[in-house]
Structure 1
Amino acid sequence: MKSSRLSGASWRGELSPAIEGVGPWPSGPSRKLAEGNPQTMEPQERLKILLCAYACEPHRGSEEGVGWNWTLQLMREHEVWVLSWSKYRELIERELETSPLPHVHFVYYDMPSWLKPFGRSERLYYTLWQLAVLPFARRLHRQVGFDVIHQLTYTTVEMPGMLWTLDAPFVWGPVGGGQVPPPALKSYFRSIWLVELGRALRKQFLRLNPLVSMAARRAACILVANQDTYRLVESLTSVPLVKASETAVRLPSDVADRAEDEIFTITWWGHFIPRKGPLLALDVAAELRQRGARFQLLMGGVGPWKGLVDRRIVAMGLKDNVKTLGYLTFEEMGPLYDNGDVFLFTSLQDTSGNVVLEAMSHARPVVSLDHQGAAEMLTEECGIKVPILTKQQVVEDMATALQDLSRDPVRRRRMGKAGRRRVAEHYDWDQKREIAAQIYAAAVRGDTPSRARETVGAV
């Protein structure tokens, strides 16, 4: 593993062997894959991949975990240069001190200091970073000669970056973000509902975004994470679209069984922000309490609405039933799932939901809204999906689903085992390597696989 100390201060200079920790690397593309199974490549046949993972951090979920875990998979068959935000450098290099990664070269970039005040807006900063990194990436490509350029994180369909302008096959995704929040549940967004409406409207006019439309046309292949995004992207381009989730999990080797005489425990984890639906979770808890159910709801996470949630718990008389746990590390998440009987997923707008897969991997059934990525991850064998008609109907149906599961431990165990099987068959990280191998091989050979081709791990 090699990493560089490149930042906004050095982005104007030419890349050279003199830059600490970077290169020199052989110039020009590597030898292309021979016909046949791409998993049988010899070391000299490793493709040179530039993986743009703006968010990339070990032992994390969400976007950071997507960037890191795709890196771990790609390095098994390719030589990978990971282009990431310098914010993650310290955490990555600390991890590499004890667990070095062969065939991986981390390259960090940050914008010039005069642009950093824009960091107060995460969306704007990310957009500017993607634009500003292009000259830097172009010089890196001139020195290394990449076989494939892969735009990974953030996994938003609204900002593909500019790396598609480089002279190499461009792979984009998996992308999500095509989903919009359900109007029936708009009250859970409170004062920012109009902002969400604006975002939804912007997606409807995505074809007017020149960066998106040009990237969609130039791509060798686009991976899409859910059906909402697929419908949005398919109207922009005729290039191959592959349905594949952006995330996956590792199955824990041992899963703890819950004693039947313990209090029925519902777990919830997420950022305390409107689109994760923490206020919906509280309404469901209040409905259960009104019905006289004996339960506890454990809510892990942090965020700007944490204080609001704590105050609502007191105001709604739920102190004996609902507890907020604060920040949990990735390692602490396992015990949270194991200490629960059912996982409650109330996200109002999500590409997929890593926590859904994590709960399934711990053999816990999931109660979720029947929409967006979670609806594609879950089946009736491993979860209960609640349709969205009205706010009151959603609250009552979620409470009923939880109450039914509380009374049937045999059904809970059966659904938990089915969830683990589904994860093993469709959402294991190893399958991302297989997806990438197929797509990269086709891209460098100039193949054009049929649209909507189902791949391993497809949603």
Structure 2
Amino acid sequence: MISVLINAYACAPNMGSEPGMAWNWVINLAKYCKVIVITEGEWQKEIEAAVKELPQGTNLTFHYNPVSVEIRKMCWNQGDWRFYKHYKKWQFKTYQIAQEILKTNKIDVLHQLNMIGFREPGYLWKITNVPLIWGPVDAKQKFPVAYLNGADLKTKLFINLKNRITYLQLKHSKRLRIAVKNASVVVSASTNSQTSFNRFFGINSPLLNETGCYIQEHKIVDKTNKKNLDLLWVGKLDFRKQLPIAIQTLKEINNEDIVLHIVGGGDDLAYKSLAKSIGIENQCKWYGLIKHSEVQQLMQKCDLFFFTSVAEGTPHVVLESISNNLPVLCFNTCGQGDSINENVGIKIELSNPEQSSIHFAKKIKDLFNNREKLELLSNNCKQRQIELSWDLKAKNMIKLYNESLKK
């Protein structure tokens, strides 16, 4: 059994986003290899309690490199660029901790796991006598600026600046270039990322989306004779998620038997005002921020998951939809574009908000009149769960580990 040292800044049980993603990677990898993890110490108690309950817990060892409460607040305040200075220091100290671990442990493979953003590749690449896997890495080139319509001036300036910085970093960052060169394998979190690594670094990066799903058993309810078509929208109420497109799509369809269920935290006044101004407020049901279990129940009751985000990694909520046998309608971009295929959903290409509403409306009209197609998509979700499962992803990562040992 090989031994792997994993750098995972954010790692915690029973959480979503980066902490939950890293946790699911390490506990599933631990079924097949010895795993030593260096992580930040915010969830040390939760980690140690959870490891004791795992059958593979004896294959897991954690080392902690904690930061201050102030730095943690910067981390979770997305968009706070001050965090990167502290995160870079954390990565260098983690590299030093890794060096100490190597003195007393036989390590076969190093793995730079998260955060998944390409901007901070860490320093494990400085250890040249052990093969390094980096990824899955999110290296999208830019936010699609056509979808900034309706954003305030500050947001537009921020996104355009970020797009420019992203380009310059991908093209000119010396440490990024060295990290890519020294890694045995760089794993892409999306097709968009594969394109970036090929364009800027001339490498073919294997695709392995950063998040997976657990296979679930849910009875598929016959919905073919329903009068209504229930659409479910879930997400944070910010411009990246593009809720106005979903609202405008209902206006474009012009069918009162189609209902949009909207779940998410944030200021909803502008969105409710938009729905009222175009006369579809009675077709919108607002839930606000609700319990995870309640979201799962809605997924099992609704007919279609309507996911309008244009800037993501691999959204876990999309995989949850598949786990609940709920077909997905989304853009063909980011991780959702890789996760959804023609067997479990429908995708449209990026264009602009107005055209997107028209294209989405056409797809929904077709499904409204063809409930048998929706039922088929729902029935296919079980197979897609297997293909996107954490266990299969762990096995694919183990293959990359073994391939790196042969180089």
TM-score for both structures, normalised by structure 2: 0.87
1:109 offset after TM fit, Å?
Answer: 1.9
Write the distance in 2 (CA, Å) between the matches of 1:266 and 1:122: 34
Whether 1:247 and 2:247 are equivalent positions in the alignment is no
1:181/1:140 Cα in 2 relative to 1: closer, same or farther (>3 Å)? same
CA contact (8 A) 2:41 2:65 kept: yes
Task: Name the SS of the counterpart of 2:282 in structure 1.
Answer: coil
1:52/1:188 Cα in 2 relative to 1: closer, same or farther (>3 Å)? farther
CA contact (8 A) 2:117 2:137 kept: yes
C-alpha distance after superposition, 1:170-213 (max 9, x if no partner) = 11001113153323322154431232222222232213112211
Whether 1:278 and 2:206 are equivalent positions in the alignment is no
1:151 offset after TM fit, Å?
Answer: 1.1
Larger deviation, residues 406-415 vs 383-392: 383-392
What pairs with 1:338-417 in structure 2 (closer than 5 Å)?
Answer: 338-417=300-379
Specify the alignment match of 1:52 in structure 2: 7
1:172/1:307 Cα in 2 relative to 1: closer, same or farther (>3 Å)? farther
1:115 offset after TM fit, Å?
Answer: 5.8
1:299/1:234 Cα in 2 relative to 1: closer, same or farther (>3 Å)? same
> When the two structures are aligned, how many residues end up with a matched partner?
397
What pairs with 1:281-292 in structure 2 (closer than 5 Å)?
Answer: 281-288=246-253, 291-292=254-255
Write the distance in 2 (CA, Å) between the matches of 1:98 and 1:422: 28
1:421 offset after TM fit, Å?
Answer: 2.2
Specify the alignment match of 2:380 in structure 1: 418
Whether 1:105 and 2:75 are equivalent positions in the alignment is no
Task: Name the SS of the counterpart of 1:152 in structure 2.
Answer: strand
What pairs with 1:57-456 in structure 2 (closer than 5 Å)?
Answer: 57-96=12-51, 98-99=53-54, 101-111=57-67, 119=75, 122-126=80-84, 128-132=86-90, 133-167=94-128, 168-191=130-153, 192-205=155-168, 206-237=170-201, 241-259=205-223, 260-261=225-226, 263-288=228-253, 291-303=254-266, 305-306=267-268, 308-313=270-275, 316-424=278-386, 426-445=387-406, 447=407
Task: Name the SS of the counterpart of 1:392 in structure 2.
Answer: helix
Letter in 1 for 2:158: V
1:357 offset after TM fit, Å?
Answer: 2.5
Name the structure with the higher helix share. 2
Write the distance in 1 (CA, Å) between the matches of 2:34 and 2:197: 30
1:338 offset after TM fit, Å?
Answer: 0.5
Task: Name the SS of the counterpart of 2:219 in structure 1.
Answer: coil
CA contact (8 A) 2:137 2:187 kept: yes
Write the distance in 1 (CA, Å) between the matches of 2:66 and 2:137: 23
1:282 offset after TM fit, Å?
Answer: 2.3
Q: What is the Cα-based RMSD across aligned positions, in Å?
A: 2.7
Write the distance in 1 (CA, Å) between the matches of 2:73 and 2:247: 36
CA contact (8 A) 1:60 1:330 kept: no
TM-score for both structures, normalised by structure 1: 0.78
Gaps of 5+ in 1: 1-45, 448-459
Write the distance in 2 (CA, Å) between the matches of 1:60 and 1:195: 28
1:328 offset after TM fit, Å?
Answer: 4.1
Gaps of 5+ in 2: none
Write the distance in 2 (CA, Å) between the matches of 1:377 and 1:117: 31
Superposed structure 1 runs of 4+ greater than 6 Å apart = none
CA contact (8 A) 1:255 1:362 kept: no
- Taking only the aligned residue pairs, the percentage that are identical comes to 22
CA contact (8 A) 1:131 1:162 kept: no
Write the distance in 2 (CA, Å) between the matches of 1:375 and 1:389: 15
1:284/1:250 Cα in 2 relative to 1: closer, same or farther (>3 Å)? same
Task: Name the SS of the counterpart of 1:83 in structure 2.
Answer: strand
